[in-house]
Structure 1
Amino acid sequence: MATHYYIVGLGNPEPEYALTRHNAGKFMAGLFAQKSASWRTKASEIILPECFMNESGKFLTKNYKLPTTKLIVVHDDLDLPLGKFKIVFNRGSGGHKGVQSVIRALKTEKFVRARIGISPKKKPNHKELLKFLTSKFKPSEL
């Protein structure tokens, strides 16, 4: 049976980023792949780019010919509370550099995104943002 959907989990490749908040998209797509092995082989392909998040678009266009009508990009989202998610279509990057990379490479915003909330109750300020994004999830948050 042909692949119906391409689920792309955005994240960074290095082991030290594995359970960080900024890798929530890659983590969720990988978890989906583990939990849904039989479904994956019949109806989808999980893609976990082995590049830094901001290069995801180039990675996808170099290694895959993806119909955007069958593309689902999963990524972290600081605008959503931790534990929440939102499915959107044909939207801008919202400032997310990985999503921006995909939009630029595909030359369209017309694909589905699964936004995974990572925001704490009090959002970090600009100076604290990088530290927050690269911090690991607490066990209680997983």
Structure 2
Amino acid sequence: MKLVVGLGNPGRTYEHTRHNAGFEAMDAIASLTSASITQKKFKALVDKVQIGKESVLLMKPQTYMNNSGEAVRAAMDFYRLSPQDLLVIYDDLDLPVGKLRLRQKGSAGGHNGIKSIQAHIKSQEFDRIRIGIDKDARIPTVDWVLGKIRKEDAQAYQESIEQAAKAAVFALQHSFADAMNQFNKR
């Protein structure tokens, strides 16, 4: 069993904001796998699917970003998963819009959703797909991440969401190392 988590904030207020890149990637994964991430469980919306040989729980935590670890920990405890069974997809201010970065471990890099997950599972050793949202030094970080994608960035952003979904599915069918080799080139 694998757990794939897309980070974001629930509710209409946050739809299509930069901080919800993970939720948008989960919707793209759902389209690729005919999933419906609507079942309420573990303080999240989930669906269980088969991807290749893997049984996979797709998750969109409903705890708000800063408490994402609560939902992740609950699912990991229920299914007795280790950090190596976890893949998290989220936004990254330090990457330009349209850029993906796949990594197998690392620090939270200031991302509160990742900080929460690391605190709850007591590990940094999990796979992650970071989706670039860039930053604008003139705009406070909180306003930037909770803002909508600019029109001039919309196409690159949408392509990165779709690539993140493809990378996640590819990693589940092959290996995360193979996905890194394939998708980090872009």
1: CA distance between counterparts of 2:113 and 2:58? 17
Where do residues 1-142 of structure 1 align in structure 2 (5 Å cutoff)? 3=1, 5-37=2-34, 41-42=49-50, 43=54, 44-65=56-77, 66-119=81-134, 123-125=135-137, 127-137=139-149, 138=151, 139-140=154-155, 141-142=157-158
Between 11-20 and 127-136, report the one with greater CA deviation.
Answer: 127-136
Q: What count of residue pairs does the alignment treat as equivalent? A: 135
1: CA distance between counterparts of 2:20 and 2:146? 8
The 8 Å contact of residues 30 and 46 in structure 1, kept in 2 or not, is answered as no
Higher relative contact order (CA 8 A, sep 6+): 1
Alignment TM-score, normalising by the size of structure 1: 0.86
1: CA distance between counterparts of 2:89 and 2:76? 17
Counterpart residue type for residue 148 of structure 2 = K
The 8 Å contact of residues 3 and 86 in structure 2, kept in 1 or not, is answered as yes
User: Where does structure 2 lack aligned partners over 5 or more consecutive residues?
Assistant: 36-47, 159-186
Cα RMSD, aligned residues only: 1.8
- 1:70-129 CA-to-partner distances (Å, cap 9, x unmatched) read 10000000011101111112200000000000001000001001101111xxx3227522
2: CA distance between counterparts of 1:11 and 1:94? 16
Counterpart residue type for residue 94 of structure 1 = G
Alignment TM-score, normalising by the size of structure 2: 0.67
The 8 Å contact of residues 83 and 117 in structure 1, kept in 2 or not, is answered as yes
